[in-house]
């Protein structure tokens, strides 16, 4: 089994429900979820004029190879109703492969580790929650170190669902 870290995010519809549904689908198709981060709320990154996102990091075990994992998460996004209209635009669900073990991989379809994870608080805050000492195989820095070095000014705040 391979240890993988994924990031899920949503800023359309019932954002919390979307994250829960994505996690359920990931568990059913990718493999057991070992850890869930807290859920964080952040302003949109890239294209700012859109609703805030809820974001979460997950650690899973999978027997899928990297491209099989990518195909599976893209299938979940499609099944949940994601439509790709604008880069960094609004989305019902977004599932990114952050790490696939210590694999360093570059292809037209997939780059591992995720090429921008170290630049984004909305990814690093949830990842720090579950894997503070995880070492980025290319940058040779822990999640804690990457978070401290990150220049992203957008805060990622723990989400508190309304009672």
* Residues with active-site annotation: 82, 91, 94, 96
With CA atoms as reference, report the closest residue to 5 among 78, 101, 124.
Answer: 101
Q: How many CB atoms sit inside 10 A of residue 157's CB?
A: 12
Contacts of 138 (CB under 8 A, 6+ apart): 104, 113
Q: How far apart are CA 129 and CA 132, in angstroms?
A: 7
The DSSP bridge partners found for residue 30 are: none
Cis amide prior to 113 (ω within 30 degrees): yes
Listed in sequence order, the residues at least 6 apart from 82 whose beta carbon sits closer than 8 Å to its beta carbon are 91, 92, 93, 94
DSSP string, 8-49: EEE-SSSHHHHHHHHHHHHHHHT--EEEEPPPEEE--SSS-S
């Amino acid at each position: 089994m391979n240890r993988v870290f994924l990031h899920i995010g949503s800023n359309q519809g019932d954002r919390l429900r979307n994250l829960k549904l994505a996690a359920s689908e990931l568990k059913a198709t990718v493999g057991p979820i070992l850890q869930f981060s807290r859920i964080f709320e952040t302003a949109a990154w890239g294209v700012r004029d859109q609703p805030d996102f809820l974001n979460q990091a997950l650690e899973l075990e999978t027997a899928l190879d990297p491209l099989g994992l990518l195909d599976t998460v893209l299938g979940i996004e499609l099944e949940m109703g994601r439509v790709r209209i604008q880069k960094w635009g609004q989305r019902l669900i977004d599932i990114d492969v952050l790490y696939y073990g210590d694999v360093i991989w570059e292809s037209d379809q997939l780059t591992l580790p995720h090429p921008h994870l170290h630049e984004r608080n909305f990814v690093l805050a949830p990842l720090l929650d579950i894997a503070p000492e995880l070492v980025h195989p290319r940058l040779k820095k822990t999640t804690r170190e990457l978070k401290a070095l990150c220049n992203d000014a957008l805060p990622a705040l723990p989400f508190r669902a309304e009672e």
